[in-house]
Structure 1
Amino acid sequence: MYYSILHKTRFRYSAPISESLTETRMRPLSEGFQRCLKFNLTTSPNATIHHYQDAYANAVQHFDIPGQHRQLTITAEAIVAFTEPPRLPRSLSPEAWNLLDDLVAEQDVWDFLAPSHFARPSPLLNTLAEQLDVRRRGDPLSLLFEIAGRMYRTFAYAPQTTSVDSPIDQALANRKGVCQDFAHIMIALVRPLGIPCRYVSGYLFHRAEDHDRSESDATHAWVEALLPGLGWIGFDPTNNLLARDRHIRVAVGRDYADVPPTKGVHRGRAESTLEVGVKVLPTEVLNIPDTDLLPPVPAPTVAEIELEQQQQQQQQQ
């Protein structure tokens, strides 16, 4: 299976800014059954793109735009190939808990066992853990299937009810949220069991027959758990799915704080507005038109033009 991906992001500023520094994690990973065959990142205004690999082996791109600008558009294009992963069993032997403990003792997975910024205990989380009967029982794999399925039935998918920096208590209190919230909640439930869990940022290919709850024009998030004899296995509590050849992995970390698609700072007194559009299609469509990914930019008002002229005059004095 091959996919073409187009991910477009636009920052609009309420007044001209003099510089912006940005870091992105948009290049799909090449590991396991997934390979990124092609990747290209462009910006408007144009910038020189630099690259490095972070502590979790994610590909990071970063750039600086020093000139004055009122908006920044980032366009990422990729082609990804998948090899069909093997079918998983529905359960492991009860001895798998002991094998898991041995695996954890042998590997450096402390980051994925300890509480993190967005995935940490709280009284509301403890209440949910009791409701879902989250404790060591049966075997690790079947328990993870059960937790993901019960979360899917317990929480409603409701866009715009939380934000990227919302604590999990907001989704726990209202029993609704988005993929990021559900991934953080599942991670916070599972880590205390001694199962290493990490947050995955990426994309999901949507087909009408799958009836996915998550939005097709946005990035996606899910959970990976380390299991004996199986390695890292992905669970998608938003859609009650195993992460297989429709889930395109871009970055992994302790939680969202480690893997935001974009983050940065700008110099200037201005508020910023973020707009994002995503398309994932089979590679029969090699060139995805991006004209409808983001809404059109309205022309500046007279007041905005006058304010910009005043700021330019002040900078020249």
Structure 2
Amino acid sequence: MLLEIRHVTQYLYDSPVRESVMEVWMQPQKGAGQRLISFELELDPPAQLFSYADTFGNAVYHFDVPQPHDRLTMVARSAVDTQAPAPLPEALDVGEWDRLRSDFVRGENFDFLRPHGFAVETDALKAFVKEKNLEELRVRDPLSALLELNDILSKSFGYEAGVTDADSPIDHALEARRGVCQDFSHIMIAICRSWGVPARYVSGYLFTDRKAGDRSDPDATHAWVEVFLPSTRWFGLDPTNNVVAGERHVAAAVGRDYADVPPSRGVYKGEAESQLAVGVSVRRARAAMTEPEFLRVSQPSASPRNNRRRGPFGGITYDQQQQQQQ
């Protein structure tokens, strides 16, 4: 499936800021089942782009806008050719649990087995696991258990933006029984790791198909989970839409949780308050809309609410992290 993706992010400041430094995780990955045809990142104000590969092999772009500005706009355009993954087996033997406990598997996937950041076992999560009798799934083989977990999580939570924030712990979604892709993914990752199944957070995009039952927002980035089994290697599960990740999913970055791979993250120098506008388009054909037509303004993010500290270039600096959830 040939997909074109346009991802617009705009930070607006109520007074000019003196400098911005940003990192961006928006380039689709190159790998099996996903061929990156092109990627470009347009900046306004213009800035020189640099890139590096992070700990998990993701492409990260970073730049510095050293002059005063009252807005910062990033437009990422990608073309990706995706292939449907090989179908999963109907089931595995229960000996797969023993293979998961091998020193090799645990050593190779150390980062994706430990609780981290948002993906941690909390009292609320333990209560949810008990309520849904999720531990009973472990009498089945790991693949069957994971597919059933994906189904249970999808049916247990309503999809609703605005119930949680980008920095909300999983307890907020567990209490409300509502949330967005980011929340469902963190909950699933925490459960998988408690079972001894390596699990990682995937940040990316989805070509939404309402006829297939997709309920995630087509105008936003998407998030899902990849799990590792020795007999299947890594494969994706999307608890938001209750599907196995396929050719409609485009992975941009993987990490332990959202904090490892936000679409953008940075700091600015100044006392201004910021507001964020985001628009995402994933289409088979090139979009004809102008940028403002699909920019969606989020709730204002007041700078004092963020992490205030002394910046690396002096003065007061505020963490400026994209507040669009996945």
TM-score, normalised with respect to structure 1: 0.90
Equivalent position amino acid for 2:93 in 1: S
Q: Structure 1 residue 208: deviation in Å?
A: 3.3
Distance 1:233 1:249 in 2: 12
Tell whether the 8 Å contact from 1:21 to 1:64 is kept in structure 2 after alignment: yes
Q: Structure 1 residue 38: deviation in Å?
A: 0.3
Rg (Cα) greater in structure: 1
Tell whether the 8 Å contact from 1:168 to 1:184 is kept in structure 2 after alignment: yes
Which residue of 2 is the match for residue 293 of structure 1?
294
Tell whether the 8 Å contact from 2:278 to 2:296 is kept in structure 1 after alignment: no
User: Higher RCO, 1 or 2 (CA under 8 Å, sep at least 6)?
Assistant: 1
Distance 1:80 1:110 in 2: 30
Equivalent position amino acid for 1:205 in 2: F
Tell whether the 8 Å contact from 1:103 to 1:228 is kept in structure 2 after alignment: no
Q: Structure 1 residue 84: deviation in Å?
A: 2.6
Equivalent position amino acid for 2:272 in 1: A
> Counterparts of 1:210-229 in structure 2 under 5 Å?
210-229=212-231
Distance 2:271 2:101 in 1: 52
Tell whether the 8 Å contact from 1:45 to 1:65 is kept in structure 2 after alignment: yes
Equivalent position amino acid for 1:20 in 2: S
Distance 2:287 2:296 in 1: 23
Which residue of 1 is the match for residue 123 of structure 2?
123
The C-alpha deviation readout for 1:65-87, integer Å capped at 9, x for no partner, is: 01110000000000001123211
Q: Structure 1 residue 287: deviation in Å?
A: 6.5
Which residue of 2 is the match for residue 114 of structure 1?
114
Tell whether the 8 Å contact from 1:9 to 1:74 is kept in structure 2 after alignment: yes
> Residues 271 and 286 of structure 1: is their aligned pair in 2 closer, same or farther, counting only changes over 3 Å?
closer
Equivalent position amino acid for 2:121 in 1: P
* SS at structure 1 position matched to 2:205: strand
Distance 2:253 2:47 in 1: 23
Q: Structure 1 residue 218: deviation in Å?
A: 0.1
> Counterparts of 1:150-299 in structure 2 under 5 Å?
150-282=152-284, 284-285=285-286, 289-294=290-295
Matched, 1:9 2:9: yes
> Counterparts of 1:54-73 in structure 2 under 5 Å?
54-73=54-73
Q: Structure 1 residue 164: deviation in Å?
A: 0.4
Tell whether the 8 Å contact from 1:6 to 1:288 is kept in structure 2 after alignment: no
Tell whether the 8 Å contact from 1:21 to 1:65 is kept in structure 2 after alignment: yes
Q: Structure 1 residue 58: deviation in Å?
A: 0.3
Unaligned runs of 5+ in 1: 297-317
Equivalent position amino acid for 1:69 in 2: H
Equivalent position amino acid for 1:44 in 2: D
What is the RMSD of the two structures over their aligned residues, measured on CA atoms? 1.5
The C-alpha deviation readout for 1:242-271, integer Å capped at 9, x for no partner, is: 101111000000000100000000001111
Tell whether the 8 Å contact from 1:132 to 1:147 is kept in structure 2 after alignment: no
Unaligned runs of 5+ in 2: 298-326
Tell whether the 8 Å contact from 1:91 to 1:141 is kept in structure 2 after alignment: yes
* SS at structure 1 position matched to 2:102: helix
Q: Structure 1 residue 99: deviation in Å?
A: 2.2
Identity over aligned pairs, percent: 44
> Residues 37 and 55 of structure 1: is their aligned pair in 2 closer, same or farther, counting only changes over 3 Å?
same
Distance 1:50 1:114 in 2: 31
Distance 1:103 1:91 in 2: 24
Which residue of 1 is the match for residue 34 of structure 2?
34
